[in-house]
Each structure stands twice: as structure tokens, then as C-alpha cells.
Amino acid sequence: MNFFNIISQLAEADSDVLGRLDSRRAVFSSLTTAGKRVSQAAVPALLASFFSKAYAGTTAGDPKDVFNYALTLEQLEADFYNKMLATANAAIFATASTAAQNAIRQIAKHENAHVTLLTAVVNGIGGTAVIGKTFKAAEFAKLTSFAAQLEVAQLLEDTGVRAYKGRAGDLLGLADVTIGGKVYNPLETALQIHSVEARHAAHIRYMRGQTPWISGDGDKDGADNYKGATPESNVIQSGVNITTQLGTTYTAKDAQASFDEILTPSEVLALVTPLIGA
């Protein structure tokens, strides 16, 4: 199998793939030459794992369903940040540093832009875009400090990243669509948003003094968001035990920090549905 050809094809649909396979996987950059030689037999399975985790699933699905699923999450996130910025919450927002305030304003702009784009995509491909998916006011009212709001933001963003990863495979092989004279590739559109959501997640974690990746010992890393059917504590990728079978000793924490796992639609909806409402 020509792995360089696979990477080339992925890069055509997702221009950020090479950066994602390199930058965050710092643990593998420390593989010694000896370790690389010892682990050569595991390389095909390990590469397969990279791609299966980044593009989970193998069967094209209904893009209207997938994009409405994504739109539901984006509306929830957008409304959450809009509430952070609302006049009614100005006193809490004013307690944050200037840099933190600017970051939240920028993330809010991104989320609202995602809502606009996904709404146009769903309607443009013959679907009916979902509307009115807001963060419950009563739940938001419980967040009486900027720090508490950031905790929820972290959980929302990390959930969103894993949710996109869980549905990306449903868009494989779908043809381009033309909306308002502009051509969109369903998979490319989803992955472009996914990469931005991942940057949000990393930045929010950084703002909270956490590692940008899920390390297993962060203050929220034991939350339900990280306990899917394949939890973030997983150390086995495509049958390869990262801690014992790569010729170099890696800890469970190393393995956890090096791979994101997916959340299924049912898992995501179980997490976010209680937060959606007036």
C-alpha cells in the first residue's frame, strides 16, 4: 500500500492533515532510531490507526443528517459564547483579562460563522436546517464566575472535536455541492470546521492552565465527555499497545495525549441534550 499516496489524497480534502499528524503527536517525535527499527512491524497498523482515528467510519452517510448534527452543536456553542458576551453578564466578563476577553470574542465570531455556513449548507443540499438550539438559561445562570464559564467551554469544545471526528467518515466519497455559486466538498467543509474547533479546545484548555491536549490528569479529564465507548484513556490503537509494542517505553499518559478518540452521535446527544433549551 502506498501510504504517501494516501496522505496526498487526504491532504486534498483536508489541507490541515499534515500539521495534525505532526504537531500534536510530539510523543512520537522522540522515537529513537533503535526504537523505530524495532517497531517497524507495527508501522502499518499504527498508520492505519492515525487515519481511522482522524476519519472515523468508512461509509458515506446522508450529509443533511450529518450537517444538521454539526449545526446543533455549533448553535449550542455559539449561544453559550453569546451569553458570555451578553450585557446581562458584563460584570462577570469584565473580571477576565483583556487577552481572555479578546479570545472569547474571537471564538464567538467563529462559532457564529460556523452556524451561518452550516445553515446555508443544509438548506442548499435540500435539507431543513435545525434552528433555536440554545444553551439553557437556567444552566448558564449557575456559572457565576468567568472561571466556571471556561470550565463548561472546555467541555463543550472537547465534545465538539470528538463529535466531528465521529461523523467525518459519513462524508467520505460524497460529491461536491454548489450553493450560491460556490462549490463545497462535504468532507472538506466539515474538516475545516473541525480543525478550528480543535484550536478552540486547545486554547480554552490553555486559558485554564491545562495541557492543550487531553493528558488524563487535568481537572476535567475524568468528565463524561472523555468516557465514550472508546475512552480517552485508551492505549491500544488498531491492535497496537502504545505502551508496550513500539520498541520504546511510553506511559499510558503518553498514549492518551497522542490520540483523540471519537464520540458517537448517541453519546454526544446524551451529553448535550440536557443543556439545550430556552
- Binning pLDDT at 50, 70 and 90, where does residue 216 land? confident
- Binning pLDDT at 50, 70 and 90, where does residue 177 land? confident
Neighbour tally for 47: CB within 10 Å = 16
pLDDT average, residue stretch 166-191: 87
- Residue 157 CA to residue 200 CA, distance in Å, equals 7
Structure confidence by residue, pLDDT tens digits, 70-109: 999 999 999 999 999 999 999 999 999 999 999 999 999 9
- The fraction of the chain above a pLDDT of 70, given in percent, is 78
* Nine-digit cell string for 45: 497498523
What integer pLDDT is reported at residue 3 of this predicted model? 37
Query: Out of 35-39, 157-161, 175-179, which region has the weakest mean confidence (pLDDT)?
Result: 35-39
Whether the full predicted model's pTM is greater than 0.85, yes or no, is no
pLDDT average, residue stretch 8-34: 45
Please return the burial class of 121, using the count of CB atoms within 10 Å of its CB with bins 0-12, 13-18 and 19+.
Answer: buried
- Binning pLDDT at 50, 70 and 90, where does residue 61 land? low
pLDDT average, residue stretch 210-224: 91
* Nine-digit cell string for 16: 490541515
What integer pLDDT is reported at residue 1 of this predicted model? 35
* Mean model confidence pLDDT for the chain: 83
* Nine-digit cell string for 113: 460563522
- Could you tell me which residue, 32 or 208, shows the higher pLDDT? 208
CATH 1.20.1260.10-classified regions of the chain: 63-225+262-275
Structure confidence by residue, pLDDT tens digits, 140-175: 999 999 999 999 999 999 999 999 999 988 888 888
* Cell 435545525 belongs to residue: 130
The pLDDT of residue 43 is above 80: no
- Binning pLDDT at 50, 70 and 90, where does residue 48 land? very low
CATH class of the domain at 63-225+262-275: mainly alpha
CA 225: distance to chain centroid? 12
- Residue 93 CA to residue 96 CA, distance in Å, equals 6
- Are the C-beta atoms of residues 258 and 242 closer than 8 Å to each other? yes
